[in-house]
Amino acid sequence: MKRARIVIVGRPNVGKSTLFNRLTGTRRALVHDEPGVTRDRLELKTEWWAQGRKFPVLLTDTGGVGGERFGEEIDNQVGIALEDADAVIVVFDGRAGLTALDEDLMKRLNRAGVLKRLPVVAAVNKIDAEQHEAMIADFYSMGLENVLTISAEHGRGIDDLEETIAQLIPDFLEEEADSDEVESEDGEPEPEPEEGLPRIAIVGRPNVGKSTLTNALLNERRMITSPIAGTTVDAVDSLASIGGKPFVIIDTAGIRRKSKTEQGIEVLSVVQARKTLERADVALLILDGEKGLTDQDEKIGGLIEDAGCGVVLVLNKWDTQRGTDFTQEQAAERIRGQMAYLKYAPIVFTSAKFGKGLNNIGELLTEILHQRKLKIPTHEFTEWVRKESTVHNPMNAKFYMCHQAGRHPPTFVCHVNDPERVDFSLKRHLLNALRERWGFMGSPVRLLFVKGASDRKPKH
Ligand code: GDP
Ligand code: GDP
């Protein structure tokens, strides 16, 4: 098996160890606080998942020496990177900004020919929340094509980092596994590797049919039986086949658990939604097709939007409308009216109790996940923004480099002469046009505007 040799470099304290642990799934305490303590170069074999395929990696953390020996250390790191790496991750501290030591490292990497010879990804770390995105403007000045923001500590942007590297060196991706083969020959369900499968959160207020739907999905043809142990006893995830494709349903036990009092349930369903959404790729927001929508549905919808995962609106108990004049179009229109902010979310109609409409969910999940994988090249996106901003731009904002900074959710950073000049209506126009051009069905899209300089031209 071919393994991609990927080397992490960066000045001390930017979060290399934390990232190494995150990318290898280890929790070993490798974080050194004492300056000047030499840490051996550390290597670990690990498997990532990218494009739905296994990506075997040998990850090297080049360690850290603080203080005066920094120059020596960088040369050492560069040496390691040069030896036999297939790709390099340069880690920066997004909170501290670009420092002289970072620039020194880049110069040495450049001098040693690393930037020309190897794919290099800049990982701007410690961007723990979306509002910190604007702090990364500096890092575009280095002329690197791949600048991603991450939070090694919180796991933000890690999937994107792995996907980006896999795209740069796709030869290391393993042959596609046949995902339909969930059963072995004797008909017994085989334990599937849960790592890397899309994670689905099933959320909604009490009594909308979450556990009925979950059971229906778990019982659909060849599904699994053995629960996958989650991180805590409370959270048990399960493998399910939805429309013939494998998915992990997050916190299956929590969905089935019933609380004693009504009020208890109400609170629980929001707490539970918040927790599962953190780990989800796509959420199914279950709505009650018999009783209609309430404030609480909107609240949970808002949590999904904030979490940035994909979303499908599932109007369940649709069987109760049989024989009435109420049509699916009318129902959809009503939902759009009450949840305007989720207008990008597709709506499906199900009867979980009778196992109806579930295949549609599988198809939509697959399509949403597919559209989230899209990565728009920087020059293409920049040109597109410039063109669109000639259509509508009441305050005459000037756009420089515009670039996709992440995929979960799709996140775009536009450099402008003055973010204040980006009128609300211009932002709305760009968002609408962006969806028209690229889709991103079922995913929230983040569009951020930061002050940039005119010399930050897109790199072709
Ligand atoms: P290294 O010297 O480059 O290996 O850096 P470490 O991994 O030892 O991290 C240095 C410090 O940055 C530690 O205190 C980490 O807890 C902290 N750190 C690492 N990643 C993040 C992050 O994503 N967000 C924040 N806020 N702190 C981080
Ligand atoms: P949860 O609290 O969201 O997990 O909801 P449950 O799955 O426990 O369902 C609440 C009630 O709604 C139960 O009595 C179910 O039988 C019923 N129910 C669930 N799905 C449907 C459906 O598709 N049609 C109808 N008519 N009833 C349903």
The predicted pLDDT at position 88 comes to: 93
Strands 42-50 and 53-61: antiparallel
The predicted pLDDT at position 113 comes to: 85
Low pLDDT (below 50) residues in the chain: 27-40, 65-66, 177-194, 220-235, 259-261, 456-460
DSSP SS3 for 56: strand
> How far does residue 242's CA lie from ligand 2's centre (Å)?
19
The predicted pLDDT at position 54 comes to: 84
Contacts of 6 (CB under 8 A, 6+ apart): 57, 58, 59, 60, 85, 86, 87, 88, 89, 165
> How far does residue 103's CA lie from ligand 1's centre (Å)?
19
Q: Is the CB of 316 under 6 A from ligand 2?
A: yes
Phi, psi of 127 (to 5 degrees): -90, 80
**Given this structure, which CATH class describes domain 193-371?**
alpha beta
Atom of ligand 1 minimally distant from the CA of 14: 3
Answer yes or no: same fold for 4-172 and 378-451: no
Q: In the CATH scheme, what is the code of domain 378-451? A: 3.30.300.20
> How far does residue 224's CA lie from ligand 2's centre (Å)?
22
The predicted pLDDT at position 228 comes to: 42
Contacts of 152 (CB under 8 A, 6+ apart): 15, 18, 19, 21, 22, 91, 125, 126, 158
Ligand 1, from 7, 9, 11, 13: best to mutate by most atoms within 8 Å of Cβ? 13
Ligand 1, from 153, 156, 161: best to mutate by most atoms within 8 Å of Cβ? 153
> How far does residue 153's CA lie from ligand 1's centre (Å)?
7
**Closest CA to ligand 1's atom 24:** 126
Q: In the CATH scheme, what is the code of domain 4-172? A: 3.40.50.300
248-260 burial, b if ≥16 CB within 10 A, otherwise e? Answer: bbbbbebbeeeee
Neighbours of 224 (CB within 10 A): 20
The predicted pLDDT at position 274 comes to: 83
The predicted pLDDT at position 69 comes to: 61
> How far does residue 59's CA lie from ligand 1's centre (Å)?
18
Q: How far apart are CA 156 and CA 79, in angstroms?
A: 29
Domain edges within the chain: 4-172, 193-371, 378-451
Atom of ligand 2 minimally distant from the CA of 205: 3
Q: Is the CB of 77 under 6 A from ligand 1?
A: no
CA within 13 Å, CB half, 72: 7
Q: Is the CB of 205 under 6 A from ligand 1?
A: no
Q: Is the CB of 210 under 6 A from ligand 2?
A: yes
Chain segment 298-324, per-residue pLDDT in tens: 989 999 998 899 999 999 999 999 889
Q: How far apart are CA 154 and CA 157, in angstroms?
A: 9
The predicted pLDDT at position 397 comes to: 92
Angle between helices 100-111 and 70-84 (to 10 degrees): 40
User: What is the number of the ligand closest to the CA of 300?
Assistant: 2
Chain segment 246-270, per-residue pLDDT in tens: 888 887 766 766 544 455 556 666 7
Atom of ligand 2 minimally distant from the CA of 208: 3
Neighbours of 289 (CB within 10 A): 23
Q: What is the separation, in whole angstroms, between the first and last Cα of the chain?
A: 34
DSSP SS3 for 148: strand
